[in-house]
Amino acid sequence: MATEPEAAEPVVPSLVDRYFTRWYKADVKGRPCEDHCILQHSNRICVITLAGSHPVLQSGKTIKSISYQISTNCSRLQNKVSGKFKRGAQFLTELAPLCKIYCSDGEEYTISSCVRGRLMEVNENILHKPSILQEKPSTEGYIAVVLPKFEESKSITEGLLTQKEYEEIVVKRINATTATS
C-alpha cells in the first residue's frame, strides 16, 4: 500500500477516513485473496475498490488492460443515469461483475460489486492509465460508484466485514502460509 512515511507529523485523517466507513469482502466468489474494499459514505453512496491484499495490488503485478465489457451484451461503460433519482442505471446484485482486469502474467481477475444497488459510474481513468489502480487503489484508482436503495442503506453492510474483522483474516492467512512453508 502506497503511503509516504510521515516522521514526527501527526496523522492527518485522510478524505476517506473523514467521510467513509471501510467494509470488506474477502475471497470474493470463492477466489482466494481476491478481497474487495467498499467505502461507504455517510450519505450511503458506496465506492467499490480493491483491498490492499488483492493480488492485483501485490508487487510485481503489471496490468495489461482493463475492460468494462462484462458480457457480449453488457458493458458497464454504457451505463447512463439521469435525473435526481438516477433512472436508467444498471442494477447490481452482490455478485454482479463490474470489470475484468488482465495482467501481463496471463492472470485474469473479475471485480464484483459486493453491494446491491444502482450503478452510478465506473472509473474511466483506470482504463486509460491502469497504473493508477495500483498507485492509489483507495482514491483515484476506484472501480465503481454504487447507490444502494434508501431502505437498504443499513442492511447492505450486513454481509460485509469490518476493518478489524478483515485485518484478522489477513493475519490468519499469513500465519497459515508461514505455518506451511
Partner 1 sequence: MFPLTEENKHVARLLLNTGTCPRCIFRFCGVDSHAPYRLPYEELLNELRKFLETEKDELILEVLNPPPKKIRLQELEDRIDNVNQNGEGRLSVIEDGSIASRNSNLNVCNVCLGILQEFCEKDFIKKVCQKVEASGFEFTNLVFSVSFPPQLSVREVRSFAHIKLYQSLSLGRNDIVQLKEAYKWTTHPLFSEELGVPIDGKSLFEVSVVFAHPETVEDCHFLMAVMKALNKIKEEDFCKQFPCPPNSPKAVCTVLEIECAHGAVFVAGRYNKYSRNLPQTPWIIDGERKLESSVEELISDHLLTVFKAESFNFSSSGREDVDVRTLGNGRPFAIELVNPHRVHFTSQEIKELQQKINKSSNKIQVRDLQLVTREAIGHMKEGEEEKTKTYSALIWTNKAIQKKDIEFLNDIKDLKIDQKTPLRVLHRRPLAVRTRVIHFMETHYVDAHHFRLYLKTQAGTYIKEFVHGDFGRTKPNIGLLMNVTADILELDVESVDVDWPPALDD
Burial 57-80 (b: 16+ CB within 10 A, else e): beeebebeebebebeeeeebeebe
Site residues for partner 1, window 34-63 (CB under 8 A)? 41, 43-45, 47
Question: For residues 9-28, which are near partner 1 according to CB under 8 A?
Answer: 9, 12, 14-15, 19
Which C-beta is closer to partner 1: that of 7 or that of 179?
Answer: 7
Tell me how far, at minimum, the Cβ of 130 lies from partner 1, in Å: 14
Smaller CB distance to partner 1: residue 4 or 158? Answer: 4
Half-sphere exposure of 140 (CA within 13 A, CB side): 12
Cell of 38: 467498499
Q: Which residues contact 59 (CB under 8 A, 6 or more apart)?
A: none
- Over the window 118 to 157, marking each residue x when it contacts partner 1 by CB under 8 A and - when it does not, the resulting string is --xx-x-x------x------xx-x--x-x----------
Residue 46: exposed, middle, or buried by beta-carbon count in 10 A (0-12, 13-18, 19+)? buried
CB atoms within 10 A of CB 1: 8
**Site residues for partner 1, window 89-118 (CB under 8 A)?**
none
Nearer to partner 1, 120 or 170 (CB): 120
Q: What number of chain residues touch partner 1 (CB under 8 A)?
A: 27
Compute the least distance from the CB of residue 148 to partner 1, in Å. Answer: 10
Single-letter residue type at 103:
C
Q: Which of 65, 52, 48, 169 is nearest to 109 (CA)?
A: 65
Q: Given the complex with partner 1, which of 84 and 164 has the nearer CB atom?
A: 84
Residues at the site binding partner 1, with contacts judged by CB under 8 A: 4, 6, 9, 12, 14-15, 19, 41, 43-45, 47, 81-84, 86, 120-121, 123, 125, 132, 139-140, 142, 145, 147
